[in-house]
Amino acid sequence: MHDQSRRQFLSMLTAASAGALLPVAQSFAVEQEPWFRISLAQWSLHRAFQNRTANPQDFPRLARRLFDIDGVEYVNQFYSDNYSAALTRKLQQQADGEGVQSLLIMVDGEGDIGAETDAARKQTVARHQRWAEMAKELDCHSIRVNAHSHGSYDEQMKKAADGLHLLGEYCEGLGLNVLVENHGGLSSNGEWLSGVMRLADHPRVGTLPDFGNFHIDRENGLTYDRYRGVRELMPWAKAISAKSYDFDENGEAVQTDFQRMLDIVRTAGYRGWVGIEYEGNRLSEIEGIEKTLALLQRMQRGGQNRFL
């Protein structure tokens, strides 16, 4: 984060801590509820958290007071070093105080769901359990995991499905969903991940389609069509990640046609939260979130279906 952006963020953060709602997100009057609601993925502020410009434990407050957003998606890596019941209570109390709904925890770095052996897959499931328990205490509906594995196309499908089924059984007892994001490797192949969903065959196992994560092999430039991929993943979708990187002079996302993508989401019958996940570098994190929020709000106004 360059000096000007850091000063801007610190200024906004000071105002937010003082209780001021900044006019970065303009509300609008509508005759009916929009067909989706807007949440904020914590990764959108990852640079601010990583360089300690902001405290991850203030995330619900920041979402509300900086952007007037009332749904949040946590990232486990920001809490790995200080995981505790006290931390969970603090986040829950803050979210409740701000009127912010905790939706899910994105879990990374806890092993491969599609590990090679039964024992290794069970170990991965065990390592995810503390995050599932934290999600339950925060009243989240899901944890988001990765379907990483090794081997042939079919071997990876079977192993990932087995690991997800095991984790789904555990999370069923907590009233939680286990969602897989297209997040690199074969998980960014919509056809493959759809096959995993069918093999996992568990009501608690679903998908979190991401608008931008369709790089199967970055080194060799192998990608998957993002619109096809999201369409293939929608039958199991329980959350949506509206990934953004940059915007043109009209406020439209450069890499993804948001109108086309949200038409796919709406046509599939989805009525839920759509999470902002800004990952661009040209704009500051605050500016990128604001522009993604403004774009999604335009999409809300244009929608005809009600949020249920």
223-256 pLDDT, tens digit per residue, is 999 999 999 999 999 999 999 999 999 999 999 9
Q: Where are the domains of the chain?
A: 30-302
Please state the pTM of the whole predicted model.
0.90
Segment 165-192, tens digit of pLDDT = 999 999 999 999 999 999 999 999 999 9
Cα(131)–Cα(157) distance, integer angstroms: 24
Q: What pLDDT shows up at residue 245? A: 98
Instruction: Flag whether pLDDT at 17 surpasses 50.
Output: no
Average pLDDT, the chain: 92
Tokens of 244: 């953004």
- Please give the average per-residue pLDDT across 116-122, as a whole number: 98
Instruction: Report the amino acid identity of residue 8.
Output: Q
What is the enclosing helix (H) or strand (E) of 217? strand 215-217
Top pLDDT among 25 and 300 is at: 300
Cα separation values, 113 from 156, 187, 234, 235, 297, Å: 10, 12, 21, 21, 35
Q: What pLDDT shows up at residue 33? A: 85
Q: What pLDDT shows up at residue 301? A: 83
> In this structure, which topology does domain 30-302 adopt according to CATH?
TIM Barrel (3.20.20)
